[in-house]
Structure 1
C-alpha cells in the first residue's frame, strides 16, 4: 500500500456497504484520476456534526452479559476511530457506513439533557444506574464543542440519580467539579479505557483518543479526588496487546483504579471486514497471525454472538488471557473494592418540594 493511500488520523480505511441498502457506492480509479487532473480532493476527510432529534434518550439494555441495565448516548458515531469498536454497526441503522462514516459523521443529540430530565420526572421511573455511554464515548471530541455530557451530569446531580461513565478521553477532568459533588453522595463510578501502554499501538488502534500518559493521569486525578475508577482493559487482542495484561493491570492499579474489566475482541457485523482491511494495511507482517488467533478464540470465526461466551472467548489462547487476568487481579487488586452506587436518594429529589405536601 502506498503511504499516500493511507487515511491518516482515521481508524477505518474504507466505507463498508450498509447492509440495509440495496445499492452500494465505490470510488473508481477514473474518478480519482479526474480529481487529480482537476486539482480537486476526492475525499476531504473532515468530520461532520449532524443534529438529530430523538424522542427518548435512555435505553434499556437487554443483553444479559453486558453488565448494565440502562444506557444513554449523547452522540452517535465516534471520532475516536477505534478500529475494533462494536458500536460501528449501529451507524448502519442511521443510514451510514460502519467504516469511515462512523468516525466522520457524528450525530448530535442536543436535546439529551431535556430528555433525561423528563425521564427523571417520570412517575414510573425507579432509580437504576444509567451509563454514559453504552455505545459511543460521551467525552469524544464533539463534547468539547457541545458540552451535552456536562449538562446531563448536572441533571443527574439535581435529581441525585446514580450514573456510570465509560470513556477514554481526558476531557472528563473538565467536569471534575460536578463529579466531586456526585461522589459526595456516592452517585458516580467512572470506567476509563486503557488498551495499551504503547503509544505506537494506541495511535493505530485508536487514532483520535487521549494518549496513554493522559489516560493514566486521568485515573490518578479522579482517584485522588475520591471518584471510584474501574479500568477497562478492553478489548484484549491476541498478538497486539495480549502480552501487556500484567503491565496494564499494574499501571492502572498504581494510578488508583479500584478494579479492572476486560473482554476478548470479537469482530461482529461489518467490523470483521473493516478490521481485516485495516490490519493488512497497518500491520501486514502479522496480519494473518492476529486474525487466526482471534478466530481461535471464537470457534474458527472472527465473531461470536453467544451470550456469556462472545466477550470471553474460548480455546487455548482465550484461556491464556484469562489466566493472566486472574494473576493480575491477585497481584494488583487483591485488597481493592469498587463501591456500589447509591440508589436511595433519587425518590426524595424526584418531585422536589412536592414531597412536602
Structure 2
C-alpha cells in the first residue's frame, strides 16, 4: 500500500514526519496559490470522486501557464422537484429538513457537507465554497408540499447541511421567504446557523416562537477570533454569534448553542468557556458534535491543519483516530456524532458537567404541530370540489 493510498483509506503511520505527511496530503490535489484563494477555507480543489478523470495544473518549467484569476463566488439556480428532504437517521432529532442552498460560502474547513458537491461534478474543496447553487423555487415548492392532503406535520430543520444564512442570503432572501410560508401555515421550524444574519428575521421568528413554533441554535466553535478566522473564514465572528444568541433570546425565541465541531487538541479546551459565554448571552440549551471527517473532508482538513498548526498535526490526528476506531472517521450510527473511546468519553462528561453547572438543558421546549393550517396560495393545486 502506498503512502497516498494509506492516507485516502485513513491509515496512520506514527513514524511519518510532518514533511512526509504534508507531501502525502498535497498528493491528493495541488494547492491553489494563496492569492487565488484568499478568504477561503480550503487550499485544495481536487476533482470530484465521481469524475472519470482527475486534472492537476502544474508548471512544467516552460512558463506556459498564464496567471489565473482569484476564486470568485458564483451562484447558479437549481430547480429541484421537491424541497423537503427526509431521513431515517436514528441519531438525529428530526426526520425532515430544507436546504435553500447547495454549497456554502462560509468555507468552514471541517464541514461534513463538502462531499455533496461531488454529486454536481464539482470539488469538495474550493468549489464547495465558491460555486454555489440557490433554490429560488423553494418557497413555492414548500407551499405545495405542505398543502398535500397526506402531509403529516413534524418540525422542519433548516441549516443541518449548509447554512441558510450564508452571505448570499442577503441578496437571494430564500430563507426569509421559506419562513414566511412556514409562519403563514403555523408550521414548526428548528434553525441552526453560525451567522448573525438570523437576527434579520426576528420579526418572523418571534411571533412563531410565541405560538411554540420556532427555536434557534447558533453554532459557536471557538471564542478565539484567530482560530475562527482560519477555520471558518466567512462566517460571523464569535462575538457576533454571541450577540445573536442574546438578540434571539431577548426576542422570546428559545435559543441554544451548538459547540461543533469539537476538535481534540485544538478547541476542546474551550468547551466550558463557550458554554459560559453562551449561557451569559441567553442560551437555554446546549449540544455538541465531535469533528467528522467523511470522504474528501479528511484530506482537506489535514491539509488545513498542516498549513495552520503544523506542530499539532500528529497529536490532533492521533486523538481523532483514537475516537474513530483507528480511522479518520467512523460513520456508524450512534458513534458518528460523539465518537468512542476514553477521550470521547472524557469530552462527553466535561460537556455534561459544564451544562449541568450552568443549568442548561433543564427543559427542552417541544414545538407544537397541532395548529398547522395547510396553505392555499400560489403553487397549490386547488380542489375541483
What TM-score does the superposition give when structure 1 sets the normalisation length? 0.93
- Given candidates 223, 227, 233, the residue that maps to 1:207 is 233
- Is contact 1:77–1:91 with CA below 8 Å preserved after alignment? yes
Is contact 2:83-2:98 (8 Å) kept?
Answer: yes
Distance of 1:223 and 1:113 partners within structure 2 = 26
- C-alpha distance in 2 between matches for 1:31 and 1:48: 32
* 1:62 pairs with one of 68, 77, 88: 88
Distance 1:159 1:313, change over 3 A: same
Output aligned runs, 1:265-344, within 5 Å: 265-334=291-360, 336-344=362-370
Q: What residue number does 1:140 align with? A: 166
CA contact 1:60–1:70 (8 Å) conserved in 2: yes
Q: Deviations over 1:44-63 (max 9, x none)?
A: 21110011111100000222
Are residues 258 and 31 of structure 1, via their aligned partners in 2, closer, same or farther at CA, if it must alter by over 3 Å?
A: farther
Matched position secondary structure for 2:64: helix
User: What pairs up with 1:221-236 in 2 under 5 angstroms?
Assistant: 221-236=247-262
Which residue, 168, 171, 176 being the options, matches 1:150? 176
Cα RMSD over matched residues?
A: 2.1
- In 2, the alpha carbon distance for the partners of 1:203 and 1:300 equals 30
- Work out whether 1:111 is the aligned partner of 2:141: no
Say whether the 8 Å CA contact 1:76–1:107 is kept in structure 2: yes
How many residues align? The count is: 350
Q: 1:60–1:301: structure 2 CA closer, same or farther, 3 Å change rule?
A: same
Shift of 1:326: 1.3
**1:303-343 deviation per Cα after TM superposition (whole angstroms, max 9, x unaligned):** 10110011111112112211211111111125742311110
Residue 28 of structure 1 is matched in structure 2 by 58
Shift of 1:65: 1.0
Q: Specify the SS of the correspondent of 1:156.
A: helix
- Name the residue aligned to 2:109: 83
Matching residue of 2:45: 15
- How far the C-alpha of 1:31 sits from its partner, in A, is 8.7
Structure 1: state its 5+ residue gaps.
Answer: none
Asked if the contact 2:284/2:360 (under 8 Å) is kept, the reply is no
Unaligned runs of 5+ in 2: 1-21, 23-30
Higher helix share: 1
Q: Does the C-alpha gap of structure 1 residues 313 and 32 become closer, same or farther in structure 2, counting only changes over 3 Å?
A: farther
Deviation digits for residues 137-175 of structure 1, max 9, x if unmatched?
A: 000001001000000000001100001111000111111
Aligned counterpart in structure 1 of residue 221 of structure 2, from 163, 175, 195: 195
Output the CA distance in 2 between the equivalents of 1:334 and 1:210. 24
- Residue pair 2:32, 2:44 contacting (<8 A) in 1 also: no
Counterpart secondary structure, 1:290: helix
User: 1:32 offset after TM fit, Å?
Assistant: 9.8
Change (3 A) 1:302 1:136: same
- The more displaced of 307-316 and 155-164 is 307-316
Q: How far apart are the structure 2 equivalents of 1:32 and 1:129?
A: 59
